[in-house]
């Protein structure tokens, strides 16, 4: 992150164009969410099914996004000598003219695997809903990215070297969960392997970045989202500025009356006034850790306290609060659109029923 660029908020007009996922977040037949609401233990058929769901979604709807698999294997304390496969999926969109080593990428991540125990665990907040939110973000900014880059090509700004090249990538990570008991070796199977492998990958000489890790401008990790009335603190002083940007987007969307949860509780991102002295060294262990240990800037979007259904059989689709899932998806989309400088480029929405209206009529 160079930090030198001016910060320009999205206009109200752009905020009003942030789309909701609507029926695609239906837990029974929604195109994005429903296929993920099955057990997804690494190495099982459920895991393969959701991998196919993610890949097909991008292949069929978002052909400009490059798809990268990152595969590894490991033994776990629950499965003896057997090598369990872990597969991270990375969906990436860079400016079409840019060399891979020259792009600073906003990186949005969530894990898709589920607990080995208890059997049949669904993990709706952990983390099916966050994965669906990220799919919605990708499709919601896709057309505006095309427009932005087409305009840059037409004006001769493309590849001028005057500005940092900006891309976006979505990482759906495998093997986050512990199989027996959380420890340094029994957890984060996918993200540990990925961070290690990216650290060892070199971009070509004279690139802006030395490897895919240093090209991450910000790593935004979504976890345990989709339960009602979440409160997400700002965990890291180094990225408090990014937290504040996201909180301001939440605030403005609420004032524009487009969030489905407006009026039903408190703000999701309430911690904007935190002082530098108030940041504690404690944080929640999660997929950001192997990246943070290697110097990547982290914005961890996970509620404290955890939702009561956490790691119980009650973490199901039926216990998701869909207005909350909708709102997180809109907040993440607007944050991404602002980061990618898409003001004025988002397509108009045909006759939006406000999310709030939809929430009311569904009651």
Answer with the entry of ligand 1BN, Zn ion, none that 321 interacts with (C-beta below 5 to 8 A by kind): none
Burial bucket for residue 60 (CB in 10 Å: 0-12, 13-18, 19+): exposed
Stretch of residues binding ligand 1BN (CB under 6 A), selected from 3-11, 198-206, 250-258, 283-291: 283-291
Using rule CB under 6 A, residue 326 touches ligand 1BN: no
Catalytic residue among 165, 174, 177, 223: 223
Q: Cα(274)–Cα(71) distance, rounded to whole angstroms?
A: 39
- DSSP calls for 179-226: SSS--SSSS-HHHHHHHHHHHT--PPTT-SSSSTTTTEEEEEEE-S--
The distance of closest approach from Cβ of residue 128 to ligand 1BN in the complex, given in angstroms and rounded to an integer, is 12
Binding at 69: pick from Zn ion, ligand 1BN, none (beta carbon under 5-8 Å per type): none
Of the residues 142, 165, 176, 262, only one is catalytic, namely 176
CA–CA–CA angle 353, 356, 360 (5° rounding)? 100
Q: DSSP string of 264-306? A: SS--SS--TT--GGG--S----STTHHHHTTT--EEEE--SSP
Report phi then psi at 301, rounded to 5. -105, 85
The residue among 179 and 328 lying less far from Zn ion, judged by its C-beta, is: 179
Assess 97 for contact with ligand 1BN (CB under 6 A). Answer: no
Q: Give the tokens for residue 268.
A: 């999701």
Pairing of strands 216-222, 165-173: unpaired
157 in active site: no
Residue given tokens 């996004």 in the structure block: 65
CB of 293 to Zn ion, least distance (A): 20
- Whether the bond between 118 and the residue before it is cis, its omega within 30 degrees of 0, is yes
> Contact between 286 and ligand 1BN (CB under 6 A)?
yes
Q: How far is the CB of 296 from ligand 1BN (least distance, A)?
A: 18
Reduced to 3 states (helix: H, G, I; strand: E, B; else coil), residue 359 is helix
Comparing CB distances to ligand 1BN, the nearer of 24 and 286 is: 286
The Cα-based distances of 35 to 104, 217, 362 in angstroms read 32, 31, 22
In whole angstroms, how close is the CB of 273 to Zn ion at the nearest point? 30
The one among 223, 262, 321, 326 contacting ligand 1BN by CB under 6 A: 223
Q: Which residues bind Zn ion (CB under 5 A)?
A: 126
Helices of type H across the chain: 12-15, 45-61, 129-155, 189-199, 240-255, 289-292, 322-339, 355-362
| Residue for token pair 């569904």 | 362
List the single partner that 182 binds among Zn ion, ligand 1BN, none, CB under 5 to 8 Å by kind.
ligand 1BN
Q: Single out the residue of 18, 50, 195, 224 in contact with ligand 1BN (rule: CB under 6 A).
A: 224
Q: List beta partners, residue 248.
A: none
Q: Which is nearer to ligand 1BN, 95 or 307 (CB)?
A: 307
Give the footprint of ligand 1BN on residues 38-67 (CB under 6 A).
none
Task: Check residue 182 for interaction with ligand 1BN (CB under 6 A).
Answer: yes
Closer to Zn ion by Cβ: residue 286 or 338: 286
- The answer to the question of residue 174 lying near ligand 1BN (CB under 6 A) is no
Nearest distance from residue 285's CB to ligand 1BN, in Å? 4
| Interacting residues with ligand 1BN between 124 and 153 (CB under 6 A) | 126
Is the Cβ of residue 13 or residue 285 nearer to ligand 1BN in the bound state?
285
Question: Which two structure tokens, joined as six digits, stand for 283?
Answer: 């944080």
Residue nearest to ligand 1BN (CB): 285
Stretch that binds ligand 1BN, among 194-202, 206-214, 251-259, 280-288 (CB under 6 A): 280-288
Min separation Cβ 177 and Zn ion, Å: 5
> Is 176 part of the annotated catalytic residue set?
yes
Q: Is 22 exposed, middle or buried (0-12, 13-18, 19+ CB in 10 A)?
A: middle
Catalytic residues: 176, 223
Site residues (CB under 6 A) for ligand 1BN?
Answer: 126, 177, 182, 223-224, 284-286
């Amino acid at each position: 992150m160079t930090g030198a660029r001016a910060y320009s908020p999205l206009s109200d007009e752009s905020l009003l164009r942030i789309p909701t996922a609507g029926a695609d977040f239906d837990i029974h037949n929604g195109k994005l969410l429903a296929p993920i609401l099955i057990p997804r233990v690494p190495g099982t058929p459920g895991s393969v099914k959701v991998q196919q769901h993610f890949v097909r979604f991008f292949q069929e709807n978002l052909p400009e996004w490059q798809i990268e698999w990152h595969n590894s294997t490991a033994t776990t304390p629950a499965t003896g000598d057997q090598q369990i496969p872990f597969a991270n999926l990375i969906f990436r969109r860079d400016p079409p003219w840019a060399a891979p080593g020259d792009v600073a990428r906003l990186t949005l991540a969530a894990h898709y695997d589920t607990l080995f125990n208890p059997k049949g665990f669904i993990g709706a907040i952990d983390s099916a809903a966050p994965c669906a939110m990220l799919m919605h973000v990708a499709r919601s900014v896709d057309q505006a990215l095309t427009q932005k880059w087409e305009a840059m090509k037409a004006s001769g700004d493309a590849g001028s070297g005057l500005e940092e090249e900006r891309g976006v990538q979505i990482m759906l990570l495998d093997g986050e969960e512990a199989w027996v008991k959380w420890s340094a070796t029994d957890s984060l199977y996918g993200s540990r392997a990925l961070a290690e492998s990216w650290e060892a990958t070199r971009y070509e000489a004279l690139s802006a970045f030395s490897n895919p890790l240093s090209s991450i401008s910000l790593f935004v990790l979504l976890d345990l989202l989709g339960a009602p009335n979440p409160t997400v603190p700002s965990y890291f002083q180094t990225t408090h500025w990014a937290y504040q940007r996201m909180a301001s987007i939440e605030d403005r969307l609420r004032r524009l009356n487009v969030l489905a949860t407006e009026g039903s509780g408190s703000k999701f991102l309430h911690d904007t006034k935190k002082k530098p002295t108030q940041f504690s060294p404690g944080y929640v262990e999660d997929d950001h850790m192997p990246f943070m240990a290697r110097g990547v800037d982290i914005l961890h979007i996970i509620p404290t306290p955890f939702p009561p259904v956490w790691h119980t059989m009650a973490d199901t689709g039926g216990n998701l609060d869909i207005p909350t899932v909708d709102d997180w998806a809109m907040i993440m989309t607007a944050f991404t659109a602002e980061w990618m400088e898409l003001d004025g480029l988002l397509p108009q929405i045909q006759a939006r029923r406000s999310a709030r209206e939809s929430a009311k009529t569904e009651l």
